[in-house]
Chain A
């Protein structure tokens, strides 16, 4: 519908002709080296599979405990939700909501939107929502802090390992693999490619 005659760099506003990118290649802005696009045309199924795997793993994460703390027979364990819920009831409501959003709700919403978007492209159902789905996804993306939370778990583990016996639960491993899938999804998401799919679907 909208054939791109010319594109511009988001970081330095340089006008240029749309690049022809081969599989496995990546186009950089000639002036500021900003990554423009990485149109590899076959990645829609790969993206879908990583996003669905991520969602399943995120569900698994909620079902088991994250880690166990054992101080001379006094045992306590947490799961992903409890970390936020405890703070909520200790009158740190803003903090609880922020943490839960950053580590769980936003990543989940992003993956759900990507899956819904790809399914809608493939089946042609719900064309009217595709534009808003994409816009919402890109707005939320910088706020998901999956990998930062993983480092947070490791830091608190090392903090506590000197005073008590610590054990990692199944949820931790599920979250770690989820983190990998999420990172993979992020590398496969490409603005130009996504809007290109919409253009093709509307054609």
Chain B
């Protein structure tokens, strides 16, 4: 445990440049090497993360209720939501693909919401988990975030490919835009969160 107790850059009034990783005193305001604005921590990181997350959460409702794909088969029009599409895939016997889509477009966004909300709250109510474990969760959200876009790409390919007029054609539904918004906003939320704040409380205890 004593191994952990070393000095953080912020405690020495040193800022790590977010662009070029040069450590310089915060008084300089701008990084001497690349002219990026210096901050000890990303400014407003918790507020911004929360704001993006709540926006994404609100968009997640229409993303699941509105159709992702509108299929016209021999004049019959069929509306498929995300979950509806997965159920159809499962019934048609392609279970592995159903599982892939389920993980990418249902499980991943929900996991991201839970982890990021938990991380934001854990800064206010410390002692939830040790910082190293919380950091692992943060890295998980960064890693899996982009994979939710799979569903959007699948819709894009199907729309472009299946255009046989009234025999069979596919149109994108309004849910696609909402879902793309959820993915992009949760990615921005993860980007605006500063993982270094997870260690601040820990560092303060070490100083005492």
Residues of A within 8 A of B (CB): 1-2, 4-16, 30-34, 66-67, 69, 71, 74, 76-78, 82-84, 86-87, 90, 92, 94-96, 98-99, 102-103, 131, 134-135, 138, 142-143, 145, 148-149, 151-153, 155-156, 158-160, 162, 191-192, 195, 198-199
Distance to closest chain B CB from A46 (angstroms)? 22
Residues facing A in B89-134 (CB within 8 A) are 89, 92-94, 96-97, 100-101, 131-132
| Option from B16, B138, B149 in Cβ contact (under 8 Å) with A145 | B149
The contact string, 1 if C-beta is below 8 Å from chain A, for chain B 1-35, is 00110111110101010111111000000001111
The answer to whether residues A8 and B94 also contact, given A74-B167, A82-B160, A99-B156 and a CB cut-off of 8 A, is no
Give the distance in Å from the alpha carbon of A2 to the alpha carbon of B152 in the complex.
45
Q: In the bound complex, do residue A138 and residue B3 qualify as a contact, i.e. CB atoms below 8 Å apart?
A: no
Residues of B within 8 A of A (CB): 3-4, 6-10, 12, 14, 16, 18-23, 32-36, 89, 92-94, 96-97, 100-101, 131-132, 135, 138-139, 146-147, 149-150, 152-154, 156-164, 167-168, 171-172, 176-177, 180, 184, 187, 191, 195-196, 198-199, 203
Q: In the bound complex, do residue B94 and residue A158 qualify as a contact, i.e. CB atoms below 8 Å apart?
A: yes
Distance to closest chain B CB from A104 (angstroms)? 12
| Option from A32, A99, A159, A198 in Cβ contact (under 8 Å) with B135 | A32
A-B contact pairs, 17 of them (CB 8 A): A6-B23, A8-B14, A10-B196, A13-B203, A31-B3, A32-B132, A78-B161, A82-B160, A83-B157, A83-B159, A92-B176, A98-B180, A134-B19, A145-B146, A151-B153, A153-B157, A155-B154
Shortest 10 CB-CB distances between A and B: which pairs?
Answer: A152-B153, A8-B9, A83-B160, A8-B16, A13-B8, A13-B196, A156-B157, A78-B160, A86-B160, A12-B199
Q: In the bound complex, do residue B35 and residue A131 qualify as a contact, i.e. CB atoms below 8 Å apart?
A: yes
| Option from B23, B93, B158, B168 in Cβ contact (under 8 Å) with A4 | B23
Q: In the bound complex, do residue A69 and residue B150 qualify as a contact, i.e. CB atoms below 8 Å apart?
A: no
The answer to whether residues A15 and B92 also contact, given A6-B23, A32-B132, A135-B19 and a CB cut-off of 8 A, is no
Residue of A nearest to B12 (CB): A15
Distance to closest chain A CB from B197 (angstroms)? 9
Q: In the bound complex, do residue A78 and residue B157 qualify as a contact, i.e. CB atoms below 8 Å apart?
A: yes
Residue of A nearest to B97 (CB): A158
Q: In the bound complex, do residue A86 and residue B146 qualify as a contact, i.e. CB atoms below 8 Å apart?
A: no
Distance to closest chain A CB from B127 (angstroms)? 17
* Candidate in A4, A82, A145, A155 with the most chain B CB atoms within 10 angstroms: A155
Give the distance in Å from the alpha carbon of A61 to the alpha carbon of B129 in the complex.
47
Q: In the bound complex, do residue A15 and residue B6 qualify as a contact, i.e. CB atoms below 8 Å apart?
A: yes
Q: In the bound complex, do residue A155 and residue B100 qualify as a contact, i.e. CB atoms below 8 Å apart?
A: yes
Distance to closest chain A CB from B71 (angstroms)? 11
Q: Which residues of B contact A32 (CB under 8 A)?
A: 131-132, 135, 199
Q: Which residues of B contact A92 (CB under 8 A)?
A: 172, 176-177
Q: Which residues of A contact B149 (CB under 8 A)?
A: 102, 145, 148, 152
Give the distance in Å from the alpha carbon of A95 to the alpha carbon of B10 in the complex.
41
Q: In the bound complex, do residue A195 and residue B22 qualify as a contact, i.e. CB atoms below 8 Å apart?
A: yes
Give the distance in Å from the alpha carbon of A87 to the alpha carbon of B199 in the complex.
45
Residue of A nearest to B148 (CB): A148
Q: In the bound complex, do residue B154 and residue A138 qualify as a contact, i.e. CB atoms below 8 Å apart?
A: no
